[in-house]
Structure 1
């Protein structure tokens, strides 16, 4: 049983956890970050992939909109290589409640949102006639009255998490994935003085001491807080997205779902994402089911504004659980996306709530508090220091044609980006996320992985099987009816 001593231990390898670890390390705070799965396993890697203000939050949570827009501007400065601008259309249908009044109201609403656009280098809205909207996107329903434009930013959220983790390590933090928190270590006065963890790679139990422990485990946070003297509650909300392996439109669409909720139709690189659902979830956070009803709900909702959606076949689906703050008597999509920092008064701070778009600001707030208590004067620099990323070299071999992944890119990730399993490359490089689902590239990638890690032939086969199992978990829910037989055949041939 090994032991080490740190100033701060951060539990949770999502965006808030890695953001806090990075900020702490850059200020000279001796930091340990642990994550029981791979990084971005939860909502941080399973979201709509946008650094945006959240126009719907303006109705009841303007502070979240403002902070998200402000932090979006900083994230563009430090992670511009992970971002791309997405022009959105907000079409209004004739049969929408309010009809032409809704179109007028939408323009007034977006005029208010325009005030925040300079914070994130966004463009102001424009109102379009029916003819202008259909000229830009002929796939829209001919039942629209018109549309309003909106400017937002999309991001590779998985790589945002990984690059924060890598930079934390470069700054001196100890960063470990596949290490699971099991219990707190306590002094005789019951103050928490560290953690016990189980390393799933070495199969060993370890003890690590620290002055402060940060619970940044997202939707898992409420359960972990039961080991403190002041547990808190969350109202977890499950969100499902479906992914089409090609661009259906060059424009993002803001649309109303069947039940009136807001949904997105989003171009991401070469793919199209549709989502999200928003339902209370109290099940197993480590194994999220994706129901056929949820897939049909998303497709049916998209059909009203984009009738030709049935011509396309979704490739896979994914789900995440938002760590939304607990409230009684409100619909899921009305819950606040604000964050809370909970001081348990015994050496533990918990992070509840929050959004991807404002992770850096949240991390700075937490680290400021820690620095004050540790008497550290070093200022924050996470808003100016660029994140590290892959620097392309001449390619000697193209491993995945769907995602344009080279042998050199895989080798870089395996060597520099805390990769423990072949399946970790699904997020690092999007391996197996394209149309082939790994059928054309996984075997060669497994060879490259095994060579870099010095694995035996048996271990290589086990890694390959693990990779295909995880790919199938995402692909099967999206393949409705007879398409499932095709997926089984693809899996057999790979």
Structure 2
């Protein structure tokens, strides 16, 4: 089936949902909802998905860009959570190698740390710190079992300083190198959605669920309003899945079930810095201790460095969580503690904040487990809450397994027979035929692209890079950068218009191209080029382009310094 999410077919996709009795309607177009749609569609269910804003516009586009087991959960003795995440990490690397790749992490051991990696050691135990930390990393590898990416190894002070020339030397005793993985969270979400579409799922953004429909003592569908046209439609479904993350309580209240969901919201802030300023190469750095006993990271990503994250309770607007001066000061203060660089707020390229929906258990948000929970509110209505990006596939499987069990006990002869979960070994869009990828790079170079640009396109699009090259073949002007010193070309905009359902300029700049995050200072010129390409590809009316430029300037959710 066709995996494309067509922006020009948005409304017709919603109308098709309304004309067809679905098995499962998913509310929420973040990574969790995308995972549920894929799991269900790949088993044979008739699936629809609606998202009130853009895909991955909430938490799923605002993470640290890591796919990881979570070494900080080891001191909490949450071994089963770490094991589950490590297994899912390996599956993602296998199923989406163009989007999820192994990344080395350096952990420096400093004399005098009080709570390294969150481990509380009494003063007499300080000499045992290197042993304790290495034992933790050994356990991390052991929990991964045969799905380990690469095993950790000790690193000398000299090698640590070679990897990170700006690392502080005072008190540095030794270091270790371990491996997790990295991704582009928003692009991963869209890839999962497109894979669901390839299995027959109908997915649409900017469509808000306004009410639940009941028939015969169970939830049987959703009233949906298209946020672009204003059109209201009723979508019928035997099951409605609430996968809305931080909005899960609000959606549950549509069924009068809000009391069954208790979430603690935690704000995570990330700072984007020039990579060369912090001396970052191809490895990430673990800041081994913070004043509140958690970890922070400095991660190389798309030519920049991401410093994050905070973990603080949050009770403000869920639409646009702010990056405060205190958030910036906290992260820069801890980076300066371990890096011999006088980082200041003026050094920031950009900053962004996201909210984590944690299953409430009392205590500090930093101590609350990242486990997920499936809540069955009433017949036909279920919520998936909590969890983390790395374990989205397992979360989705748990939801669809519940639906399959309940369908199996139903006397309704209309229930369709479906197969078992298939997603553990299901490649995502772009992961097909990896053996052909070197040839795609060679074709790109022959078409006049630089080897660096060709490699970046492959890392973003995988086998879909062939479609990018076809666009350039038809229109060579699409090989040009969107603006000087901007690492994106016109063909990426046209491709995204055809297959990823961008509605607004912000969707393209923030989540499809990531330019608002990577190059905000060059954004004005790039934004105008992007808007012009979108106007042509999506056949915008004459005044739409300027309106979109103004909307983007006024409302971009990524903060530039």
TM-score (norm 2): 0.81
**What corresponds to 1:228 in structure 2?**
255
**What corresponds to 2:98 in structure 1?**
81
Work out whether 1:241 is the aligned partner of 2:267: no
Q: Which moved more, 1:273-282 or 1:306-315?
A: 306-315
**What corresponds to 2:46 in structure 1?**
30
Residue 350 of structure 1 deviates from its aligned partner by 0.5
**What corresponds to 1:269 in structure 2?**
302
**What corresponds to 1:439 in structure 2?**
524
CA contact (8 A) 2:106 2:286 kept: yes
CA contact (8 A) 1:229 1:344 kept: no
Match of 2:426 among 385, 390, 400: 385
CA contact (8 A) 1:117 1:123 kept: no
Residue 17 of structure 1 deviates from its aligned partner by 0.2
**What corresponds to 1:207 in structure 2?**
234
Higher helix proportion? 2
**What corresponds to 1:346 in structure 2?**
379
**What corresponds to 1:488 in structure 2?**
none
Match of 1:124 among 143, 151, 156: 151
Residue 179 of structure 1 deviates from its aligned partner by 0.5
Work out whether 1:145 is the aligned partner of 2:173: yes
- Residues 113-132 of structure 1 show CA distances to partners (whole Å, capped at 9, x for unaligned) of 12034454422222233333
Mark the runs of 5 or more structure 2 residues left unpaired by the alignment: 1-13, 115-122, 408-414, 431-460
Cα distance, 1:48–1:321 mapped onto 2, change above 3 Å = same
Q: For residues 136 and 339 of structure 1, what CA distance do their matches in structure 2 show? A: 36
- Residues 62-112 of structure 1 show CA distances to partners (whole Å, capped at 9, x for unaligned) of 111111111111111111001232211111222312554322211111111
**What corresponds to 2:369 in structure 1?**
336
CA contact (8 A) 1:21 1:31 kept: yes
Match of 2:504 among 412, 421, 424: 421
Cα distance, 1:68–1:351 mapped onto 2, change above 3 Å = same
Q: Which secondary structure does the structure 1 equivalent of 2:228 belong to?
A: coil
Q: Which secondary structure does the structure 2 equivalent of 1:449 belong to?
A: helix
**What corresponds to 1:367 in structure 2?**
400
Work out whether 1:52 is the aligned partner of 2:37: no
Cα distance, 1:119–1:49 mapped onto 2, change above 3 Å = farther
Q: For residues 146 and 391 of structure 2, what CA distance do their matches in structure 1 show? A: 13
Q: Which moved more, 1:223-232 or 1:298-307?
A: 223-232
**What corresponds to 1:485 in structure 2?**
none
Q: For residues 440 and 170 of structure 1, what CA distance do their matches in structure 2 show? A: 35
Work out whether 1:407 is the aligned partner of 2:484: no
CA contact (8 A) 1:402 1:434 kept: no
Residue 379 of structure 1 deviates from its aligned partner by 2.7
Cα distance, 1:470–1:306 mapped onto 2, change above 3 Å = farther
**What corresponds to 1:305 in structure 2?**
338
Q: Which secondary structure does the structure 1 equivalent of 2:358 belong to?
A: coil
Residue 14 of structure 1 deviates from its aligned partner by 0.7
Work out whether 1:326 is the aligned partner of 2:326: no
CA contact (8 A) 1:264 1:274 kept: yes
- Residues 174-207 of structure 1 show CA distances to partners (whole Å, capped at 9, x for unaligned) of 1010011111112253x21111121111111111
Q: For residues 443 and 227 of structure 1, what CA distance do their matches in structure 2 show? A: 40
Q: For residues 485 and 102 of structure 2, what CA distance do their matches in structure 1 show? A: 22
Work out whether 1:464 is the aligned partner of 2:546: no
Cα distance, 1:417–1:105 mapped onto 2, change above 3 Å = same
Q: Which moved more, 1:27-36 or 1:303-312?
A: 303-312
Q: For residues 403 and 36 of structure 1, what CA distance do their matches in structure 2 show? A: 30
- Residues 125-161 of structure 1 show CA distances to partners (whole Å, capped at 9, x for unaligned) of 2223333322332211112222121111101111110
Cα distance, 1:119–1:184 mapped onto 2, change above 3 Å = farther
Residue 344 of structure 1 deviates from its aligned partner by 1.1
Q: For residues 305 and 194 of structure 2, what CA distance do their matches in structure 1 show? A: 28
Work out whether 1:316 is the aligned partner of 2:344: no
What number of residue pairs does the alignment pair up? Answer: 474
Cα distance, 1:347–1:324 mapped onto 2, change above 3 Å = same
Cα distance, 1:198–1:52 mapped onto 2, change above 3 Å = same
Cα distance, 1:270–1:100 mapped onto 2, change above 3 Å = farther
CA contact (8 A) 1:117 1:124 kept: no
Q: For residues 430 and 401 of structure 1, what CA distance do their matches in structure 2 show? A: 16
CA contact (8 A) 2:272 2:517 kept: no
**What corresponds to 1:253 in structure 2?**
285
Q: Which secondary structure does the structure 2 equivalent of 1:124 belong to?
A: coil
Q: For residues 176 and 487 of structure 2, what CA distance do their matches in structure 1 show? A: 35
Alignment of 1:146-161 (within 5 A): 146-161=174-189
Q: Which secondary structure does the structure 1 equivalent of 2:105 belong to?
A: strand
CA contact (8 A) 2:141 2:148 kept: no
Q: For residues 438 and 233 of structure 1, what CA distance do their matches in structure 2 show? A: 40
CA contact (8 A) 1:432 1:442 kept: no
Q: Which moved more, 1:403-412 or 1:26-35?
A: 403-412
Match of 2:111 among 89, 94, 98: 94
Q: For residues 432 and 334 of structure 1, what CA distance do their matches in structure 2 show? A: 32
Q: For residues 326 and 503 of structure 2, what CA distance do their matches in structure 1 show? A: 35
User: CA RMSD of the aligned region, Å?
Assistant: 2.0
CA contact (8 A) 2:45 2:416 kept: no
Q: Which secondary structure does the structure 1 equivalent of 2:320 belong to?
A: coil
Mark the runs of 5 or more structure 1 residues left unpaired by the alignment: 480-494
